């Protein structure tokens, strides 16, 4: 029975079991106990290929029954195979090493035959995992759609980790991320290699935990000895563990309960409203009593059920999470009606524009001149008229008179504009100009200010600077622009899913393209920093829209090592005085959905060690026909300069 009715894989909870010859009975007892899937060993743990006889078929590996003991849908939906934990492919013992390689291949082949969705690989042992990774990489090259989950203990890696502390499951280094990173690099960042995190009683620092949410974590294995005991003897988790589990739920990471019961509880005596002393018996009415781990499952179920529901905006954006989209090119392409309609629904954005226009009108026209002075305003890139409407509403609420020129190059949108003017009775107020703002030349120095929404996810990436420079000749000498300025921001991120999505195209062009994306499964490794700023109107005689910026990011030392797959880009814009809008995370305008972040990938991910700065170079380049970005990393190691001469990605003028 799923933990709740929310969407996503995270509502499912499994259980790690021992080897059982009768897997049908094993599955039935755990499904009846309210678990959604089991994680059993596929092979008898006593089996060793070197000890098996090859006579009379006695050397057949001891898998738990045939494929017929469960239906195909049961194998696929309710079983995650667990590879033998004794295997050690990097052992100095040649017999053990060969046994391990044979067994690994046998078990993966059997799991693939059963059409399992995933198999759990044991953690690497010791400081070297090269041979283990080699064998797994060989298997990955011919694997079907099955995922391989590498078991990785969530060990402490911050400064309060005790000297000499080692990975108690694998004997490896304290920071298990390093072990995972070494393994996945050796496996060429394969998209079917994922992580199952072992959650133990102690947790690393918040920054150290955060980097895992940019990695391909598919499952979190919660050990029963990680649970605390409340005053009544029932299992509970620390506040930090609870917060971590909620993050797992939010990232569709499935939960697995592991280990034997360490709390002496009876499900029949569980209070009905108690969690940390107030537990809700969430799943009990659906389950057969008596499962030894039921109290742990019920606790997990209640944590899931008491999560705050997703806001309406987040529900709307669910299908866009981590989905790469090409940025709009509104100068080269005419937008479609559906695109206009999506953006026009952003009430917050247009209310901010209305506030900006209202303040500008109040500043320019004193109360005593409100009835006699008409302000001439030009909407640059009017689309289907939302900024025209916002400007006229600002005039109405301030009691000022306004004359609007609506300039739009898209002939299809102009048709809608004419209908809107007639419908609203704006014939004496609004003049429609069907032209590119850079080409129209009818009103020189007659406009008091212009208003535009030409901003892209990176601020200037939809060529707002070039467009507004072209429209500036209409402005009076003391004219103003809304927006008056905008700044782009950049932030290094771990984004394994996005990287693998780009990598799947096997094409240089994709790695040199910027994408618009609703970031979700990413780890933000350092606060964002400003990159390029543009102000309007720009009266400098030596103005240029080319830019270059060198940025130096410091990754917090308690994060541990981290992989940089690329950079998230944002913008913040000042519309007028203190009225702003933007998507930079620390100052983002709430409940605004017109813009997702932009993502600049790296062809080769960069591993950043603790206290090692990340130095990034970014260029905005211009020619007579196009604008493009180039970017590279020079520290801690150098990358290639991406998108040289705009060979892969550019925005046409």
Distance CA 255, CA 251 (A): 11
Q: Under DSSP, is residue 616 helix (H, G, I), strand (E, B) or coil?
A: strand
Q: Under DSSP, is residue 267 helix (H, G, I), strand (E, B) or coil?
A: helix
Cβ burial of 296 (10 Å; 0-12, 13-18, 19+) is buried
The answer to whether 247 is annotated as binding is no
CA dihedral 295, 296, 301, 303 (to 10 degrees): 120
Report the sign of the C-alpha dihedral through residues 609, 203, 262, 288, in that order.
negative
Nearest to 569 by CA among 546, 535, 537, 601: 601
Q: Under DSSP, is residue 587 helix (H, G, I), strand (E, B) or coil?
A: helix
The answer to whether 359 is annotated as binding is no
The answer to whether 320 is annotated as binding is no
Q: Under DSSP, is residue 509 helix (H, G, I), strand (E, B) or coil?
A: helix
The answer to whether 448 is annotated as binding is no
CA–CA–CA angle 502, 624, 572 (5° rounding) = 55
In angstroms, the Cα distances linking 621 to 65, 458, 598, 613 are: 64, 14, 18, 26
Distance CA 353, CA 357 (A): 6
The answer to whether 215 is annotated as binding is no
Which residues are catalytic, by number? 453, 462
What tokens appear for 380 in the block? 């640059």
CA atoms within 13 A on the CB side of 517: 25
The answer to whether 397 is annotated as binding is no
State yes or no: cis peptide before 9, omega within 30 of 0: no
Residue found by looking up tokens 């600049």 in the block:
600
In angstroms, the Cα distances linking 418 to 408, 432, 505 are: 11, 7, 44
State the binding site for S-adenosyl-L-methionine. 340, 349-350, 408, 436-437
Residues that constitute the known binding site: 340, 349-350, 408, 436-437
């Amino acid at each position: 029975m799923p933990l709740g009715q929310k969407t996503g894989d995270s509502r499912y909870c499994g259980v790690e079991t021992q080897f059982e010859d009768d897997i049908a009975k094993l599955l039935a007892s755990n499904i009846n106990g309210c678990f959604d899937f089991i994680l059993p060993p596929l092979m008898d743990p006593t089996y060793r290929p070197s000890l098996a006889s090859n006579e009379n078929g006695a050397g057949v590996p001891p898998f738990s029954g045939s494929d017929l003991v469960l239906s195909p849908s049961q194998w696929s939906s309710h079983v995650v195979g667990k590879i033998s934990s004794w295997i050690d492919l990097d052992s100095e013992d040649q017999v053990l090493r060969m046994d391990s390689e044979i067994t690994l291949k046998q078990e993966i082949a059997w799991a693939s035959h059963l059409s399992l969705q995933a198999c759990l690989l044991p953690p690497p042992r010791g400081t070297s995992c090269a041979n283990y990774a080699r064998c797994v990489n060989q298997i990955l090259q011919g694997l079907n759609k099955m995922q391989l989950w590498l078991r990785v203990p969530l060990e402490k890696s911050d400064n309060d980790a005790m000297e000499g502390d080692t990975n108690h499951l694998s004997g490896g280094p304290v920071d298990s991320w390093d072990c995972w990173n070494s393994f996945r690099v050796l496996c060429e960042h394969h998209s079917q290699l994922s992580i199952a995190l072992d959650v133990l009683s102690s947790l690393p620092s918040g920054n150290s935990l955060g980097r895992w949410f940019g990695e391909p974590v598919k499952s979190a294995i919660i050990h029963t000895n990680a649970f605390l005991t409340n005053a009544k003897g029932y299992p509970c988790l620390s506040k930090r563990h609870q917060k971590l589990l909620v993050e797992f739920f939010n990232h569709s990471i499935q939960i697995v309960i592991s280990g034997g019961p360490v709390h002496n509880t009876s499900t029949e005596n569980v209070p009905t409203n108690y969690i940390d002393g107030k537990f809700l018996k969430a799943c009990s009415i659906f389950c057969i009593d008596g499962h030894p781990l039921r109290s742990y499952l019920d606790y997990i179920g209640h944590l899931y059920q008491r999560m705050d529901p997703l806001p309406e905006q987040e529900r709307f954006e669910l299908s866009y999470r981590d989905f790469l989209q090409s940025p709009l090119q509104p100068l080269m392409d005419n937008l479609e009606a559906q695109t206009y309609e999506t953006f026009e629904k952003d009430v917050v954005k247009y209310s901010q524009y209305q506030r900006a226009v209202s303040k500008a009108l109040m500043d320019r026209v004193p109360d005593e001149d409100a009835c006699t002075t008409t302000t001439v305003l030009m909407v640059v890139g009017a689309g289907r008229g939302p900024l025209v409407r916002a400007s006229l509403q600002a005039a109405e609420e301030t009691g000022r008179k306004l004359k609007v020129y609506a300039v739009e190059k898209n002939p299809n949108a102009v048709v809608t504009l004419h209908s809107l003017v007639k419908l609203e009775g704006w014939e004496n107020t609004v003049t429609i100009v069907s032209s590119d703002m850079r080409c129209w030349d009818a009103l020189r120095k007659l406009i008091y200010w212009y208003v535009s929404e030409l901003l892209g996810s990176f601020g200037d990436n939809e060529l707002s600077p070039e467009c507004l420079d072209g429209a500036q000749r209409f402005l009076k000498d003391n004219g103003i622009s809304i927006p008056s300025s905008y700044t782009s921001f950049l932030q290094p991120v771990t984004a394994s899913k996005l990287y693998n999505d780009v990598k799947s195209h096997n094409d240089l062009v994709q790695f040199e393209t910027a994408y618009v994306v609703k970031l979700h499964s990413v780890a933000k490794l350092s606060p964002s920093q400003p990159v390029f700023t543009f102000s309007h109107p720009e009266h400098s005689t030596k103005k240029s829209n080319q830019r270059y910026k060198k940025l130096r990011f410091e990754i917090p030392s308690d994060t541990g090592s981290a992989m940089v797959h690329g950079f998230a880009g944002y913008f913040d814009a000042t519309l007028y005085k203190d009225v702003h809008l933007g998507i930079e995370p620390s100052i983002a305008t709430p409940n605004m959905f017109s813009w997702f972040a932009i993502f600049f990938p790296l062809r080769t991910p960069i591993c950043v060690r603790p206290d090692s700065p990340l130095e990034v170079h970014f260029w905005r380049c211009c020619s007579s026909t196009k604008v493009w970005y180039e970017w590279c990393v020079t520290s801690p190691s150098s990358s290639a300069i991406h998108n040289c001469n705009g060979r892969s990605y550019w925005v046409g003028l």
